[in-house]
Structure 1
Amino acid sequence: MAVNSNHKENEEGLSDPGVRFQSYLHGGTSSLLSTLPTLIVFPIYKTVFRQQIHNTPVRLAVGQLYKEGPLKLYRGVAPPLLMRTLNGTLLFGLQDTLLYQLSPSSQNVIPMSALAGFGAGVVEAVVFTPFERVQNVLQNGQNDHHLPTLKSILVRLKTQGVALGYYRAFLPITARNSLGSALYFGLKGPMCAFVARQGLSPFTSSFISGTLTSMAISLTLYPLSVLVANMQTQVGGEMKGVLACWRMLWKSRQQSVALLYRGGLLVILRSCITWGITTAIYDRQVKHSG
């Protein structure tokens, strides 16, 4: 991460609250600019979602979406678009703020970056779990008839209570987001430095480092994403706990890791496009504002 690799050079400026604010601004801007790729790859994301929920091959998942038609293809796209912008603002800005609080003297930057990322991921889970809950309910085609609109979903979730409504699957989301953010901020800087030594431009190095880091994280934590998707699509009925849901999921996948990772290759493609671009834009903004 450029803001971390240049930590020592900007040590005095880091105490300026204006510099802290710039991290939030750069994070939000980079994520906002990546919303176009999010729109482009949303059908891919929805295909992965169907594979996660129904355990179907990609051909059948695409067939389901094709049969439903183009109008329903982008049902549920609003929450991830809003989340992308707000997520980048919070994640990059808060991580940078926590990093300065943890390591103002620029000592042990890499482990402190990971620790700050972990803290930012926890806050991210608290803020965005309701967004993800609504998004997953919207994307489940089985909810189309009895929950046809966003308003109907919001009203229904409100009646479920906080834990079973908007904050369903909060624990696995917190584990996924905190570990993912810790790995991202801990690995991205060293990865970018390694790629840059191959003679590539700074923008290309940032893009590749963000892509490779995100791919590794996505594949490592993919089972948690599958668990979250399966827990959050249901509204009403018997709500089982995390361990019970995991046992049901593992059994439904015939205790096969290959079936559990169904759709994982598409997650790699999505990570390449979204986080690669976001990382490159963010690092470029930091470099030019430094």
Structure 2
Amino acid sequence: MESSREDVTVPLMDHSPDWVEYACGGGAAFFNIIITFPLHKVIFRQQVFGISGNSAFMQVKKEGLSQLYRGVLPPLLQKTFSVSLMFGLYDQYSRILRSNCPFIPQSATLHAAAILSGTTEAILVPFERVQTILQDQRRANRFSNTIHAFRVLRMYGIGEYYRGLTAILLRNGPSNAVFFSLRGKVNSVLPEAKTSARKVRNDFVTGAVTGAFISTVWYPVNVVKSRMQSKIGGEFRSFVYTFKQIYKERNCRLRNMFLGVHLNYSRALISWGIINAAYEILKNCFMQD
């Protein structure tokens, strides 16, 4: 990543191999999931059941340390590959669009590349789907592990892997566009980093602020996604139907669609701070080699 204070997007690095972007994004996401998974589990309980943070925490605590990382494999795989694709495809789509459509304004090209990369990430929906059902304590005894969950879902047909796809498409593409637009702008207003330590600090703050903002704005979409994906078998309900159902259950108050948002943006601050800082560190290591 270039250190120029004027950059407002991820630069297109023609001088680096294509795999570097994928490797840096994937490595950063791997470290993030290992650190933040327990907090994500608490947030998930709030999203699905509409309970307080303390109640969700007590549920997880009661289940014990042996269950703390139950279901970690799907998000570890999904997030590692997802962020890898997010950075890698954004870079490649940007190059392709700039090369083949030079008449399109650069800002439009980069937004289109971000949306395309986010849409492509949707191929990983099955991992997010399995993650959701493994975190639901109502089914704690039904699935022994990740592979078992995949096998059970297969019995309901391939479509069962893709419940919640609409919600994920509504989230991934637009949020990617906002992420890559805001990332450089946030970094540009921070004090100039004159040392390596301060650069890491700036990268962490940039990722944290950008990620927390996006996570908060798209939180209701994730609430609907979690509800859609927590169901196994039966009729496939649309995003709009599920949103209306949850909205009604929560006394028709938009505020209640944000139950759990405080923990969510706290997690996003940490998660995207780690991802952005780790991405930059890995990038510098690869570029030096």
Q: Within 5 Å, give how 1:41-52 maps onto structure 2.
A: 41-52=36-47
Q: C-alpha displacement at 1:99, in angstroms?
A: 1.2
1:93 is matched with which residue? 88
Q: Percent identity?
A: 29
One-letter amino acid of the counterpart of residue 220, structure 1: V
One-letter amino acid of the counterpart of residue 80, structure 2: T
CA separation in 2, counterparts of 1:122 and 1:93?
Answer: 13
The C-alpha deviation readout for 1:177-231, integer Å capped at 9, x for no partner, is: 1111111111111211122458783322221111111011000000011101011
Q: Contact (CA 8 Å) 1:111, 1:186: kept in 2 or not?
A: no
One-letter amino acid of the counterpart of residue 209, structure 2: L
Q: Contact (CA 8 Å) 1:2, 1:286: kept in 2 or not?
A: no
1:82 is matched with which residue? 77
Q: Within 5 Å, give how 1:16-55 maps onto structure 2.
A: 18-32=16-30, 34-35=31-32, 38-55=33-50
1:179 is matched with which residue? 174
2:153 is matched with which residue? 157
- Cα pair distance change 1:262/1:7, threshold 3 Å: closer
1:222 to 219, 222, 228: 219
CA separation in 2, counterparts of 1:244 and 1:158?
Answer: 25
CA separation in 1, counterparts of 2:37 and 2:279?
Answer: 22
Q: Contact (CA 8 Å) 1:196, 1:202: kept in 2 or not?
A: no
Q: Within 5 Å, give how 1:129-140 maps onto structure 2.
A: 129-140=125-136
Q: C-alpha displacement at 1:245, in angstroms?
A: 1.2
Could you list the runs of 5+ residues in structure 1 that have no partner in the other structure?
none
Q: C-alpha displacement at 1:111, in angstroms?
A: 4.1
The C-alpha deviation readout for 1:129-188, integer Å capped at 9, x for no partner, is: 10000000101111123334434321221122222x100010110110111111111111
- Cα pair distance change 1:286/1:254, threshold 3 Å: same
One-letter amino acid of the counterpart of residue 189, structure 1: G
The C-alpha deviation readout for 1:26-85, integer Å capped at 9, x for no partner, is: 2223223x24xx333222111111111111111211222222222222211111122232
2:244 is matched with which residue? 247
CA separation in 1, counterparts of 2:110 and 2:54?
Answer: 41
Q: Within 5 Å, give how 1:164-203 maps onto structure 2.
A: 165-197=160-192, 201-203=198-200
Q: Within 5 Å, give how 1:115-154 maps onto structure 2.
A: 115-125=112-122, 127-154=123-150
1:275 to 260, 272, 276: 272
Q: Contact (CA 8 Å) 2:90, 2:114: kept in 1 or not?
A: yes
Q: Is it true that 1:206 corresponds to 2:233 in the alignment?
A: no
- Cα pair distance change 1:183/1:3, threshold 3 Å: farther
1:63 is matched with which residue? 58
CA separation in 2, counterparts of 1:91 and 1:147?
Answer: 30
One-letter amino acid of the counterpart of residue 155, structure 1: R
The C-alpha deviation readout for 1:81-111, integer Å capped at 9, x for no partner, is: 2223222221111101111122357x95444
CA separation in 1, counterparts of 2:227 and 2:253?
Answer: 17
More deviation in 272-281 or 223-232?
A: 272-281
One-letter amino acid of the counterpart of residue 241, structure 2: A
CA separation in 1, counterparts of 2:183 and 2:105?
Answer: 15
